[in-house]
Amino acid sequence: MQKNMKTLGDLISVAMMAVLFLVILILVVFSAVSYQGAVELRDANDNTRAVLSYVTTAVKGSGGSRVRIDSRGGVDILVIEEGDTGYEQQICFSDGKVLESYGKAGEVPVFEDALVVGRAEQFDMQFHGDGLLEIQTDIGTSYVRVRS
C-alpha cells in the first residue's frame, strides 16, 4: 500500500511539472506573438508619421526659401531652394519610397543615393491657391502653407 501511494505521488508530481512546463511554454509563445504585433504596429505608425510629416516639416523649416514643384526625369520633385548657395533640398517619390536628397540646383536627384523617408503606394503634391501645398498619399493627406 505504501508503495502504491509513493507511485501515485510520483505520478502527480510528474503531471504537475508537465502542466507547469506547458503553461510556461504557452506564455512564452503568446508573449512573442504579442511583441511581434506591437513592433509591426509601431513600425507602421513610424512610417505613417514620417511620410505625412516630413514634407510639411521641411517646408516649414525652409525659412521663406522658394518652394516649388518641378518635373525632372519624368518625376515630380518638391524643390526647396537654399537661398543664394546654388543648392536645394529635393523631395520625390520613386518605386514606393518617399525620397529626400540635397544637391545642386537644377540637377535630377540620384535615387540610389537619396535618403528613404518612408514607404507609400501613392505620393502626389500640388499647390492650391494662396501657397497651400497638399501632400496626398495612400496613408493620408497633409497640408502646409508655404511662406515664400
- Give which of 88, 87, 96, 84 is closest to 59, Cα–Cα: 88
Contact between 128 and 122 under an 8 Å Cβ cutoff? The reply is no
39 has a pLDDT exceeding 90: yes
pLDDT in tens, 97-125: 889 998 888 888 888 888 888 888 888 88
148 has a pLDDT exceeding 60: no
Measured in residues, the chain has a length of: 148
- Give which of 70, 57, 66, 63 is closest to 118, Cα–Cα: 57
Domains in the chain, number: 1
Strands lying side by side in the sheet with 97-104: 67-72, 75-81, 87-94, 97-104, 115-119
pTM score: 0.69
Q: Containing H/E element for 62?
A: none
Contact between 78 and 67 under an 8 Å Cβ cutoff? The reply is yes
What is the extent of the structural domain holding 111?
1-148
